[in-house]
Amino acid sequence: MSGILIIAEHIQGALRDITGEMIGAAASIKEAYGGPVNVAIISDNPESLSEDTNLAGVDEVFTVKVSGPDFDAAVYEEVACQIGAETKPGLILFGHTVNGMACSSAVAARLGAGYASDVFELGVEASEIVATRSAYGNKVNLEMVFPGKGIVVLGLRGATFLIPEEKGSAAITSKDIDVSAVTGTMTHVEYQEAPPSDIDISKADFIMSIGRGIQDKENLPRFEELAKRLGATFGCSRPIVDSGWLPKPHQVGQSGKVASNCKLYIALGISGAVQHQFGMKHVDTIIAVNTDPEAPIFNVATYGVTMDIFELADALERQFN
């Protein structure tokens, strides 16, 4: 078995970013791993999405027509297993998303495959897949190998792998997959949109985040204005969101967003628990300001200073004025 099969994700007629990220991940190991990179699109109108999946590194796009446009875990599982049995890839990729988690483990079980979820790094050693994910509450990174497994199924973490910028020249092939035995086992009711937000932490290149050190909600506008004057996206740690001071899209961390494109991150009054550090792992330069010299944030900071964040705000505001 060789090559990589990617199960595309889409919602309301548009591809999700995780699809392009999976293609980028596959392209990064294609030469070392060998075999083609193929993408399967499952939809009532898969042809409308085929051009968007035709990115650099993709060899063939499989269009699989089913009865409806919405995700159905049983249908996706059946299609992945049938295409997997036919094309015999060594690696099948899903997104580590609500949809991906609903069917990827079942695909692995049916195929007798090795399996890992929430994978944020891929490698190849001696022609075998090496998948890296966090363990022990994100205290360590774990490299996983799958000895004796002819096929591996992985769920890839979003906002982690780069989407190829160039278009590809993949062949588009229609696949006739019989899913009649599982069609109708679930019913899609509706989509419920997340509250609108004008920020995207995962795409910001400069972030200024605040934590418990802000002390009171009344101090929030001051630091929000400071971030604006610095030209930074305004972020925060989980306690700020849990207190209801800022909406969820501002949160950086394991249960928030990963600052995957950030070049400069300023952490004000943030202790730096491992859950928050998870969201900062891609950042080039981290500047931490905290009165506690033992704060964990200093273990990962590029530059750090033990001072009161309000004194820093005073000095910056004087500089601006």
Is 11 contained in some domain?
Answer: yes
Q: Which of 74-78, 132-136, 165-169, 202-206 has the lowest mean pLDDT?
A: 132-136
Q: Categorize the per-residue pLDDT at 248 as very low, low, confident or very high, splitting at 50, 70 and 90.
A: confident
For residues 268 and 157, membership in a common domain is answered with no
Maximum average pLDDT range among 134-143, 189-198, 208-217: 208-217
For residues 206 and 166, membership in a common domain is answered with no
Looking at per-residue pLDDT, the higher value among 1 and 220 belongs to: 220
For residues 244 and 307, membership in a common domain is answered with yes
For residues 146 and 243, membership in a common domain is answered with no
Q: Domain residues for 279?
A: 201-320
Supply the pLDDT for residue 319. Answer: 85
Supply the pLDDT for residue 61. Answer: 98
Model pTM above 0.85: no
Largest CA distance in the chain: 70
Supply the pLDDT for residue 59. Answer: 98
For residues 229 and 157, membership in a common domain is answered with no
Across the range 246-260, mean pLDDT stands at 83
Q: In the numeric block, which tokens belong to residue 272?
A: 């730096």
Across the range 69-94, mean pLDDT stands at 96
Supply the pLDDT for residue 106. Answer: 98
Supply the pLDDT for residue 134. Answer: 78
Is 109 contained in some domain?
Answer: yes
Is 194 contained in some domain?
Answer: no
The per-residue pLDDT for range 292-303, each reduced to its tens digit, is 998 889 988 999
The per-residue pLDDT for range 193-205, each reduced to its tens digit, is 766 667 888 889 9
The per-residue pLDDT for range 87-118, each reduced to its tens digit, is 999 999 999 988 999 999 999 999 999 999 98
Is-contact 115 152, C-beta < 8 A?
Answer: yes
| Distance between CA atoms of residues 271 and 212, nearest Å | 8
Is 193 contained in some domain?
Answer: no
For residues 8 and 148, membership in a common domain is answered with yes
For residues 161 and 69, membership in a common domain is answered with yes
For residues 74 and 215, membership in a common domain is answered with no
Provide the CATH number for the domain around residue 251: 3.40.50.1220
Name residue 181's amino acid. A
For residues 233 and 150, membership in a common domain is answered with no
The per-residue pLDDT for range 231-242, each reduced to its tens digit, is 999 999 988 988
Domain termination residue (choose one: 159, 175, 191): 175
Is 295 contained in some domain?
Answer: yes
Is 104 contained in some domain?
Answer: yes
For residues 61 and 110, membership in a common domain is answered with yes
Supply the pLDDT for residue 185. Answer: 84
Q: Categorize the per-residue pLDDT at 121 as very low, low, confident or very high, splitting at 50, 70 and 90.
A: very high
Q: Chain-wide mean pLDDT for the chain?
A: 91
Supply the pLDDT for residue 101. Answer: 94
For residues 17 and 59, membership in a common domain is answered with yes
For residues 241 and 155, membership in a common domain is answered with no
Is 273 contained in some domain?
Answer: yes
Looking at per-residue pLDDT, the higher value among 239 and 82 belongs to: 82
Q: Domain tally for the chain?
A: 2
Domain termination residue (choose one: 140, 175, 210): 175
Is 196 contained in some domain?
Answer: no
Provide the CATH number for the domain around residue 8: 3.40.50.620
